[in-house]
Amino acid sequence: MVNKITVVGAGNVGATTAQRIAEKELARTVVMVDIADGIPQGKGLDQWESAPIELFDSRVIGTTGYEETAGSDIVVITAGIPRKPGMSRDDLLNTNAGIVGAVAAEVAKTSPKAILIIVSNPLDVMCYVAMKVSGFPRERVIGMAGILDTARFRSFIAEKLDVSVRDIQAMVLGGHGDTMVPLISYTSISGIPITQFLSKEELEPLVVRARNGGGEIVKYLKTGSAYYAPSSGAVQMVEAIVNDQKRILPCAAWLEGEYGMKGLFLGVPVKLGRKGMEKVVEIALSADEQAALAKSADAVREPMSVVKL
């Protein structure tokens, strides 16, 4: 347990993230911030009133200012407008860049030692904005995307084969979008290569569905986007950091030569511990996987070049 964790954004993703952090008692105080007066206060009070039933002692506070967030150990940024039907992640770019940049500036002033976990979309570019504006080192700015993309891929495999999700190991790298890279060579069920269960032709629809996982949910909801699985991914990262678990998880990290790339955030395996991103883990990729990762990196660099800071 740490002293304080802040979640910026009291929408579906932020509120669900705050609730799960509180229920796991990862911090003594959980602060939820949002510009919409009354929303964070009301949701925070509602969550705190669930504590006697769910049996957690993490105090949940809702606010519209950053005074209560001062000295936060971890700040999860979910703020931004959600993706709407027909809207690509890049359509969100400059609106959310302004929002995330303003948040990062406030956090840098009130919690200069915090670790930032970015959930806002377009994810990889928002990580870049947060790091540039905050001035934090790369170890303390990490994006939640690969965990979500991997969870979707694993859930689709489990559904296809009628097996437990617990036994499926997988890793999805690259940018959080249409160019994400599910690593078939590292996908297995209880250590048995996935290719012994499914042919390449059978795997391809699952890969495509994973890439379009967020869009599929947006089409169903019509006026919103996914929040249960994204919040789970963010909380898994928080838990790994708070408890110094040294988890190897796919996250968006700032690359400085790893995988032959530098100067961008991209989904790669990283070791998460109490200091944040402790190491980028480099693994051997097939020629096709390396090419796909390079293509994904190009897709991230394009919006980075036009983002307005």
Query: So which residues are the catalytic ones?
Result: 176
Cα gap 299→296, rounded to integer Å? 5
Cα gap 219→83, rounded to integer Å? 10
How would you label 139-170 residue by residue, b for 16+ Cβ within 10 Å and e otherwise?
Answer: bbbbbbbbbbbbbbbbbbbbeebeeeeeebeb
Cα gap 104→75, rounded to integer Å? 10
Cα gap 304→309, rounded to integer Å? 10
Distances from the Cα of 33 to the Cαs of 102, 105, 127, 281, 283, in angstroms?
A: 13, 14, 19, 33, 38
Contact 303, 125 (CB under 8 A): yes
DSSP secondary structure letters along 70-122: TT-SEEEE--SPPP-TT--GGGGHHHHHHHHHHHHHHHHHH-TTPEEEE-PSS
Cα gap 184→193, rounded to integer Å? 9
Q: Which pair of tokens denotes residue 142?
A: 């990490």
Contact 96, 67 (CB under 8 A): no
